[in-house]
Amino acid sequence: MIRAEAIFVEFGLAPEELDRWIANAWVRPEGRAGAWLFHDIDVARIRLIVELRGTMEVDEAAMPTVLSLLDQVYAMRRAVQRLNRALAVAPAEVREGLARVLTEVG
Amino acid sequence: MAEDPYKILGVRKDASAEDIRAAYRKLAKKHHPDLNPGNKAAEEKFKAVSAANELLSDAEKRARYDRGEIDESGAEKAPPRSYRQYAESGAGERYAYAGGDAGFGENFEDLFSTLFRDRAGPGATGGSARGRDDHYTLTASFLDAVNGATNRLTLPDGQTLDVKIPPGTLDGQILRLRGRGGPGRGGGPAGDALIDIRIAPHKFFKREGQDIRLELPVSVREAVLGAKVTVPTPGGPVVMTVRPGSDTGTELRLKGRGVPAHGSTAAGDLYVRLAVVVGEPDPALEDFLRTHPEAGGVKNPRAGME
């Protein structure tokens, strides 16, 4: 768990900026205002937002749309991974049957 | 290989291309496996020397290595773990899609409806089902867990949930918020939010059930002559008497100053263990101890160890 002070240093963020991102629910740390605790994924997400804003020139108005689309993609990918794990333990004939159908359609 | 290629070749960082070539040839001849048959160490050394030469003899690679862009093996230096690596793992659930259409992608039953259509069995079509339970983790500060507090948890849908942490909450305790989980299907009830409470350690308080332990520094003067000292407790500072002749390890109990009473559980106690701090050199004290060698109570505090 990482504190906000370390985030300010690592990313050169102003406290108001981070507060605004948290208020917008772009970043969802634990704890409460003044004593936020950040998981590794929260830090990675802050890096993502910093990169989106800097290198990719996504402005604050467009940010919610971009983050929402990314969240949908990752939700989809997690679902596909779950399916993949379920298939890994499915009977061989089920897997073969699916592979057959999928290659036919493709 | 994780060693500095300059060191392996025994050349300086500013060595010329000619120096590097010469150093490489000398070492390669010495350690060549064909000249050292069966000598594993020489073989390893030869590999390391070759790899170092490969890196440093290529001006472009050498410049990139010097700039820290690639490592000794020539591999790109690992950038910080990307968001994707987290988002695709279980941790990604923290940022599940926050849009209006509940469960896009998240709700497996919805995404792969064909897979689940027949599962409920004949006649069950259109039946109701309770929503799923959602699991969250919330890290509370030590004092919030002891005294009780309301902490804010932001849910994947962007809404916030005020989690009432009751006084005396233990690490790993799971709080259930009824009806705050996934929505039910076909009129079924919503699931619950299950919140796993983790407690961050405190700088000086330690919890033992209902009791709390604290090590309290006291000066030599306070320990020898006794004093009234202010002690931090979870409920705020209190004044405590240190008796004259107290020592490091002396334990004092502040009754009812541990975890406050909650439900049918009585309040715990705060155990304060004194730790004498000698601190800065004090000429007057030094003189006194020099001229009064018997001062200090015990002649040989290690007598029992012989």
Total Cβ atoms within 10 A of residue B218: 21
Question: What is the average pLDDT across B159-169?
Answer: 89
Element at B221 (helix H, strand E): helix B220-225
The domain spanning residue B57 has which CATH number? 1.10.287.110
Total Cβ atoms within 10 A of residue B297: 9
The domain ranges of chain A are 1-58, 61-106
pLDDT value for A22: 92
Please identify, in words, the CATH class of the domain defined by A1-58. Answer: mainly alpha
Which of B83, B88, B105 minimises the CB distance to A45?
B83
pLDDT value for B132: 84
Helix (H/G/I), strand (E/B), else coil: B271 = strand
Cross-chain residue pair B84–A74, CB shorter than 8 Å: yes
C-alpha B55: how far from its chain's center? 38
Question: Is A16 or B36 the better-scoring residue by pLDDT?
Answer: A16
Question: What is the average pLDDT across B147-172?
Answer: 86
Residue B277 lies in a domain: yes
If pLDDT is split at 50, 70 and 90, which confidence band does B285 have?
confident
Same domain, B219 and B194: no
Question: What is the average pLDDT across B181-193?
Answer: 82
pLDDT at B282 over 60: yes
pLDDT digits (tens, 9 = 90+) for A36-90: 899 989 999 999 999 888 878 889 889 988 998 888 888 888 888 888 888 888 8
Is A71 touching B (CB cutoff 8 A)? yes
Contacts of B141 in chain A (CB under 8 A): 31, 35
pLDDT digits (tens, 9 = 90+) for B92-130: 877 876 544 444 444 566 666 666 655 544 444 456 778
**What DSSP designation does B34 have?**
G
Looking at B35, B66, B97, the residue that finishes a domain is B66
pLDDT at B274 over 60: yes
pLDDT value for B214: 96
Numbered residues of chain B with Cβ closer than 8 Å to any chain A Cβ: 80-88, 91-99, 104-106, 108, 111-112, 137-141, 151-154, 158, 200
Looking at B66, B85, B113, the residue that finishes a domain is B66
The domain spanning residue B139 has which CATH number? 2.60.260.20
Which of B88, B95, B151 minimises the CB distance to A45?
B95
Nearest CA in chain B to A72: B97
Which of B85, B97, B200 minimises the CB distance to A72?
B97
Residue B14 lies in a domain: yes
CB A29 within 8 A of CB A38: yes
pLDDT value for B293: 75
CA atoms within 13 A on the CB side of A25: 20
Cross-chain residue pair B200–A25, CB shorter than 8 Å: no
pLDDT digits (tens, 9 = 90+) for B139-157: 999 999 999 999 988 877 7
- The conformational region for residue B279 under phi > 0 = left, psi -120 to 50 = alpha, else beta, is left
pLDDT value for B104: 44
Same domain, B14 and B37: yes
pLDDT value for A82: 82
Our count of domains for chain B comes to 3
Residue B93 lies in a domain: no
Lowest model confidence (mean pLDDT) among B64-68, B79-83, B170-174, B239-243 = B79-83
Residue B86 lies in a domain: no
Average pLDDT, rounded, for chain B: 83
Substitution target in B84, B86, B116, B161 with the highest count of A β-carbons within 10 Å is: B86
Cross-chain residue pair A68–B99, CB shorter than 8 Å: yes
Percent of chain B exceeding pLDDT 70 equals 87
Question: Is B229 or B293 the better-scoring residue by pLDDT?
Answer: B229
Give the distance from residue A95's alpha carbon to the nearest chain B alpha carbon, in angstroms.
14
Same domain, B194 and B234: no
pLDDT value for B301: 80
Which phi and psi angles does A29 have, rounded to 5°? -75, 175
pLDDT value for B79: 61
Which phi and psi angles does B9 have, rounded to 5°? -85, -10
CB-based contacts of A90: which residues, under 8 Å, 6+ apart?
none
Cross-chain residue pair B83–A42, CB shorter than 8 Å: no
If pLDDT is split at 50, 70 and 90, which confidence band does B267 have?
very high
Nearest CA in chain B to A22: B154
Give the distance from residue B191's alpha carbon to the nearest chain A alpha carbon, in angstroms.
20
pLDDT at B32 over 50: yes
Which phi and psi angles does B11 have, rounded to 5°? -120, 160
* Residue B234 domain boundaries: 205-291
Same domain, B211 and B254: yes
Kindly report the pTM of this predicted structure: 0.45
Residue B77 lies in a domain: no
pLDDT at B1 over 60: no
Rounded Cα distance between B42 and B184, Å, is 69
Cross-chain residue pair A70–B87, CB shorter than 8 Å: yes
If pLDDT is split at 50, 70 and 90, which confidence band does A2 have?
confident
pLDDT value for B7: 92
CA atoms A23, A29, A32, A37: torsion sign: negative
Largest Cα–Cα distance of chain A, in whole Å? 57
Residue B74 lies in a domain: no
Cross-chain residue pair A30–B81, CB shorter than 8 Å: no
Of B3, B93, B108, residue with least CA distance to B47: B3
Substitution target in B94, B132, B162 with the highest count of A β-carbons within 10 Å is: B94
Q: Packing angle between helix A4-11 and helix A40-53, nearest 10 degrees?
A: 30
